[in-house]
């Protein structure tokens, strides 16, 4: 199984776990004299099995990410994922700053307080664009590696 396939399986397990949780919650209470559509104990047993599968899969993925070097890079997959996430976080914060600083405030009279920008929006936007590019490039390397490495 390729690492990318394991990641897809992990996503499927998370969807299944969330679905089971919802089904258990829907079956947890029943009106006296009625039966629930599903047996909550059976669902709990299934939930435990799915969580156990997910634990094993996540451990295997994380271990493989730590020991796998990305081609044409000095980074392991774990390091490159962290780097990509850092680029995305920086870009997100800079976008928030741009959104706060971008509006212009009209004054009705000269006696009103004038609001001035204290940041260079154009420079921040250029930085956001560069960070987004780096994140895309890192993600491409991650995806390429995921499809070439066996779990």
From first to last of its 151 residues, the chain has per-residue pLDDT tens of 999 999 999 999 999 999 999 999 999 998 898 888 899 999 999 999 999 999 999 999 999 999 999 998 899 999 999 999 999 999 999 999 999 998 876 666 777 777 788 899 999 999 999 999 999 999 999 999 999 999 9
What CA–CA distance (Å, rounded) separates 15 from 81?
22
Asked if 49 and 43 count as a contact pair (C-beta separation under 8 A), the reply is no
79 and 136 part of one domain: yes
144 and 76 part of one domain: yes
Question: Structure pTM?
Answer: 0.81
- Numbers of helices and strands, H then E, in the chain: 4, 0
DSSP 8-class letter at 70:
P
86 and 149 part of one domain: yes
63 and 79 part of one domain: no
40 and 82 part of one domain: no
109 and 146 part of one domain: yes
63 and 82 part of one domain: no
Total tally of structural domains belonging to the chain:
2
* Token pair recorded at residue 84: 């990509």
**The pLDDT of residue 106:** 66
Last residue in a domain, options 13, 44, 67: 67
Last residue in a domain, options 38, 67, 96: 67
Full domain range(s) for residue 1: 1-67
**The pLDDT of residue 5:** 97
128 and 117 part of one domain: yes
**The pLDDT of residue 147:** 96
83 and 56 part of one domain: no
Last residue in a domain, options 67, 95, 121: 67
């Amino acid at each position: 199984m390729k690492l990318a396939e394991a990641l897809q399986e992990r996503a499927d397990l998370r969807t299944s776990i969330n679905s089971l949780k919802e089904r258990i919650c829907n079956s947890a209470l029943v009106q006296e004299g009625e039966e629930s559509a599903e047996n909550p104990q059976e669902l709990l047993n299934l939930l435990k099995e799915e969580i156990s599968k997910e634990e094993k899969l996540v451990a295997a993925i994380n271990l493989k990410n730590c020991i796998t070097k990305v081609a044409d890079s000095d980074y392991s997959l774990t390091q490159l994922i962290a780097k990509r996430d850092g680029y995305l976080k920086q870009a997100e914060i800079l976008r928030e700053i741009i959104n706060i600083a971008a509006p212009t405030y009209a004054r009705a009279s000269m006696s009103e307080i004038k609001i001035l920008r204290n940041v260079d929006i154009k420079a921040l936007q250029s930085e956001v664009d560069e960070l987004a590019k780096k994140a895309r490039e890192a993600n491409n390397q991650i995806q390429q590696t995921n499809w070439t490495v066996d779990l």
